[in-house]
């Protein structure tokens, strides 16, 4: 079955280099070039892939363009553009270009966003679909290009990316932060992550030397354009509104304690089994347990205020933790507190004869009153007043990963009633 009479998809990946030419910019230029040659460009897709994949490009982004016209000509235009712009001599730049008139297996995309795919697997899928393709360097970019062209999004959001004039690349960006805060205030919760209001920082303006000036993320083309209109910034050379899997939790799969794989991202249900501890650099560690298996969860320093919620957890609390499993830990992106346990602390009791607070008489020796010398055996059970209640908690925008669904879009769909 063809994608539609005259219809085809282009996939493009790994045109980034250390110098920071970004794949989405090349995709935006390609879409314009196709339109100038009378192609009908139906959709621009920004496809984020597994953020933990080794050899990933920064942000692990690939793009797809859905268009009508002559696929052979589109392939020649795309390859010429890559050869013109991508630094093909850079060892970490291995672009892939795919043009297909027939559908590629959506499962290839699903695996590339939740797990890992190999170049050989991409080649098999491309050959089976009779696709045109070219891999440069070691050809690794064909994985992302194939995944992008194969992608079907069960859920999607939008990002309006604004690109700089080439003469300004590498120079400081001129974007008025006050206007970004105003744009978010006027359009939230329909847009998100332009700024981090709690931490008072701008999130949507990169610091890398790539062509992106800023990007507005939101639920519809209407809302991202509304926000963009309010941003005061240097003149832009190009803008593109991308349909994207960002903010959809596409990277998360259901997992269980003791059965997680390195480099994948999960939702895991469990019961807190240790007091949270804060280590060097402000990283918070805690253990959850399920079915006799323990899982270490981490909330790193850049997650800022999110760590307060994590520190407020106590053994016995039931949670659902979401994040990437790396180096044996689940790095928390968000967390649902399902139920709160009664947190009991033991402390020396009041003296049975004079009422003054006793002190410990030593391990296993009970408690002794320093005023009158009376002794008592049993400690006092003090019920801790909890500072956290059931509900969802998430890292702030400044620490959010591209794929992580912000809570303003609702809780993850992957979480089932049986977990709650």
Does 370 sit near Zn ion (CB under 5 A)?
Answer: no
Q: Among the candidate windows 80-88, 255-263, 331-339, 343-351, which touches Zn ion by CB under 5 A?
A: 343-351
φ/ψ of 150, rounded to 5, equals -90, -15
Residues 274, 268 contacting (CB under 8 angstroms): no
With CB under 5 A as the contact rule, the residue among 12, 21, 369, 403 that binds Zn ion is 369
With CB under 5 A as the contact rule, the residue among 371, 377, 382, 416 that binds Zn ion is 371
Residues 303, 397 contacting (CB under 8 angstroms): no
Q: Among the candidate windows 294-302, 337-345, 362-370, 389-397, which touches Zn ion by CB under 5 A?
A: 362-370
**Residue given tokens 């063809």 in the structure block:** 2
Helix 119-128 to helix 141-150 angle (10° resolution) is 50
With CB under 5 A as the contact rule, the residue among 77, 351, 403, 404 that binds Zn ion is 351
With CB under 5 A as the contact rule, the residue among 372, 377, 416, 420 that binds Zn ion is 372
Q: How far is the CB of 377 from Zn ion (least distance, A)?
A: 15
* Distance between CA atoms of residues 233 and 349, nearest Å: 64
Q: How far is the CB of 353 from Zn ion (least distance, A)?
A: 5
Does 374 sit near Zn ion (CB under 5 A)?
Answer: yes
Closest by alpha carbon to 350, among 384, 380, 373? 380
Of the chain, the end-to-end C-alpha distance in Å amounts to 42
CA 328 to chain centre: 19
User: What is the total count of residues that contact Zn ion (CB under 5 A)?
Assistant: 7
Taking the least distance from each CB to Zn ion, the nearer of 297 and 351 is 351
Q: Among the candidate windows 34-42, 221-229, 299-307, 349-357, which touches Zn ion by CB under 5 A?
A: 349-357
Q: Is the bond into 300 cis (omega within 30 degrees of 0)?
A: no
| Beta bridge partners of residue 311, listed in sequence order | none
Q: What does the block give as tokens for 211? A: 């062509």
Q: Among the candidate windows 107-115, 287-295, 324-332, 352-360, which touches Zn ion by CB under 5 A?
A: 352-360
CA geometry: angle at 251 spanning 123 and 47, to 5°? 55
* Binding-site string for Zn ion from residue 296 to residue 335, where x marks contact by CB under 5 A and - marks none: ----------------------------------------
List residues binding Zn ion (CB under 5 A).
351, 353-354, 369, 371-372, 374
């Amino acid at each position: 079955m063809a994608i539609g009479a005259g219809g085809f998809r282009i996939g493009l990946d790994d045109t980034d280099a250390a110098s920071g030419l970004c794949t989405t910019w090349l995709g935006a230029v390609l879409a314009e070039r196709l339109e100038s040659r009378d192609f009908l460009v139906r959709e621009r897709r920004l496809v984020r892939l597994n953020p933990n994949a080794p050899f990933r490009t920064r942000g692990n982004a690939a793009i797809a363009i859905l268009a009508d016209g002559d696929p052979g000509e589109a392939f020649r235009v795309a390859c010429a553009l890559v050869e013109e712009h991508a630094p093909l001599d850079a060892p970490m730049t291995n672009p892939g270009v795919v043009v297909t008139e027939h559908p590629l297996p959506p499962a290839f995309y699903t695996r590339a966003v939740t797990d890992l795919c190999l170049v050989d697997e991409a080649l098999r899928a491309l050959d089976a679909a009779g696709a045109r393709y070219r891999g440069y360097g070691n050809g690794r970019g064909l994985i992302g290009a194939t995944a992008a062209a194969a992608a079907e999004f069960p859920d999607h959001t939008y990002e309006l990316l604004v690109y700089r004039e080439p003469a300004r690349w590498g120079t400081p960006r001129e974007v008025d932060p006050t206007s970004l805060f105003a744009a978010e205030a006027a359009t939230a919760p329909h847009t998100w992550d332009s700024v981090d209001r709690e931490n008072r920082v701008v999130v949507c303006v990169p610091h890398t030397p790539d062509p992106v000036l800023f990007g507005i993320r939101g639920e519809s083309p209407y809302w991202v354009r509304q926000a963009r209109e309010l941003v005061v910034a240097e003149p832009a050379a190009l803008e593109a509104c991308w349909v994207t899997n960002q903010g959809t939790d596409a990277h998360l799969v259901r997992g269980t304690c003791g059965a997680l794989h390195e480099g994948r991202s999960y939702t895991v249900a469990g019961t807190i089994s240790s007091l949270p501890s804060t280590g060097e650099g402000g990283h918070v560690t805690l253990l959850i347990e399920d079915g006799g298996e323990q899982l270490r969860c981490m909330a790193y320093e850049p997650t800022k205020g999110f760590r307060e919620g994590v520190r407020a957890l106590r053994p016995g609390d039931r949670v659902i933790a979401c994040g990437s499993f790396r180096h044996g830990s689940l790095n928390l992106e968000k967390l649902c507190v399902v139920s709160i346990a009664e947190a009991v602390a033991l402390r020396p009791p009041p003296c049975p004869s004079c009422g003054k607070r006793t002190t410990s008489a030593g391990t296993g020796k009970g408690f002794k009153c320093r005023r009158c010398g009376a002794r008592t055996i049993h400690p006092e059970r003090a019920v801790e007043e909890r500072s956290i209640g059931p509900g969802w908690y998430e890292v702030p925008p400044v620490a959010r990963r591209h794929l992580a669904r912000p809570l303003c879009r609702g809780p993850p769909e992957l979480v089932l009633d049986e977990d709650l």
